[in-house]
Amino acid sequence: MTKESKIPNPTIERLAFYSRPLEALLKGGPPVISSEKLAGLCGVNPAQVRKDLAYFGEFGVRGVGYEIRDLLKEIKGILATDREWALCIVGMGNLGISLVENENFKKRGYLFVATFDSDARKIGRQLPCGLTIEPERKIGELVRELGIEIGVITTPSRAAQRVTEILSDAGVKAILNFAPIQVRTPESCIVENVDFSVKLENLVYHLERLYKGKRSA
C-alpha cells in the first residue's frame, strides 16, 4: 500500500462513488465486475478506476475483474465507512432538518445523535427522527457525553465561525460546513467547506461552454 498522505482528494471522492453501484450489485447481480463496467456505471474511464484502486494495493484479477463483495469491503475499510460515526448538527433550518431526517446517512453509518440551534423558538422541538433541538450552550456537554466526532454546520454565515470554534473547543475532530463562508479550525480539527454557489458557478460555466459549442456548430 502506498502512503495515503499523497492520495489526491478527488480519488477519495471517487471511491465513494464506486461503492454505490457495488452495493446495488451485491443485492442482485454477478459476483464479479470489470473495471470497464464499474467505470461505465460511475461515469469515469476504466484507467481512472484502476489508477484510483492502485493507490491502496492490488485488487482484482487481470482479464477477470473484481470480486464485488471483496472490493466493496476494501473500499469501506479505506473510507472508514465500515463503522458508525456520531454526528451533531448546528443550525436547524430547512437544510439542517432535511439532513437529519435523511435515512441514507444512517444506512451508511453516519448517525446524527444531537441537534442544536440558537433560536429560542426552535429549542425543545422534537423532530420526527426522535431528536430534540438543544440550545447551543449544551454543545460541549453533549459532544463529550455522546462521543460526537463530526459536526455539521448549517447556520447563517455570520454564525459559522463562532459555531466552528465552539465545536472544535468541545473536542469535535471534523466539521462539514454548509454555511457560505470559509471557516477556520485548529490543526487538530479537519474542515470541509461546502459552498453550493461555487458548485452552481462551476455548473453554469460548463453549461455556457455547451451553449457556445452548439451556437458555433
How far apart CA 17 and CA 204 sit, in angstroms, is 23
17: number of Cβ within 10 Å: 14
Contacts of 49 (CB under 8 A, 6+ apart): 18, 35, 38, 39, 42
Report the DSSP pairing between strands 174-177 and 190-193: parallel
94 is in an annotated binding site: yes
The amino acid at residue 157 is: S
How far apart CA 207 and CA 217 sit, in angstroms, is 16
93 is in an annotated binding site: yes
92 is in an annotated binding site: yes
Task: Report the C-alpha dihedral over residues 17, 18, 21, 26, rounded to 10 degrees.
Answer: -140
177 is in an annotated binding site: no
The amino acid at residue 197 is: S
For the record, the C-alpha cell of 48 comes out as 481512472
Report the DSSP pairing between strands 133-135 and 110-117: parallel
With residue 117 as reference, give the H or E element that holds it. strand 110-117
The amino acid at residue 42 is: C
95 is in an annotated binding site: yes
| Widest pairwise Cα distance in the chain | 63
Feature table: binding site: 91-96
Feature table: binding site for NAD(+): 91-96
